[in-house]
Amino acid sequence: MTSPDTVLIIDDEPRTRQAIAKIVAGMGYAALEAPDGKEALRLHALNKEAIVAVTLNLVMSGMNGRETLEAFSREAPFLPIVISSGLEPAAVQLSGRVPGSPGVVYLGKPYETRQLQEALQRVIGEMKRSGGAPR
């Protein structure tokens, strides 16, 4: 079965996940939602083929965004990631594939629909160009 291209939405706030799901739906992507990093890794492991990009919140209960980013950096080094956070970029200390690395951008909340769409297109495009896209 060929799964539709899917964006994995990782955020502990259900309404945020829903809003982002609507935005990616507007781009023609399916959405998978995870409330924390652990669930996200599980879903990713199950849907590696389908998932084309990830939106990642940083402050979450359970496995937080920083740890999740590190885990994805190891397990899916070519996965396009949009970090979607209410924190100031300067206030966070990240490791692994930090924003600015190919296929990773930081998008400060709140943002317009258009901005997220552009960010997703950009990271997916970057990964395709570097030849590391999973599919």
Which residues are near other proteins by CB under 8 A?
13, 15-16, 19-20, 22-23, 57, 59, 84-88, 90-91, 108-113
Question: What are the start-end ranges of the H helices in the chain?
Answer: 14-26, 37-46, 65-75, 113-129
To other proteins, the closest distance from the beta carbon of 120 in angstroms equals: 14
Smaller CB separation from other proteins, 3 or 110: 110
Smaller CB separation from other proteins, 78 or 111: 111
To other proteins, the closest distance from the beta carbon of 19 in angstroms equals: 4
To other proteins, the closest distance from the beta carbon of 16 in angstroms equals: 6
Smaller CB separation from other proteins, 2 or 112: 112
Token representation of residue 27:
């781009």
To other proteins, the closest distance from the beta carbon of 60 in angstroms equals: 11
Cα(84)–Cα(56) distance, integer angstroms: 6
Is-contact 36 11, C-beta < 8 A? Answer: no
Tokens 């990271």, residue?
A: 123
Cα(135)–Cα(132) distance, integer angstroms: 8
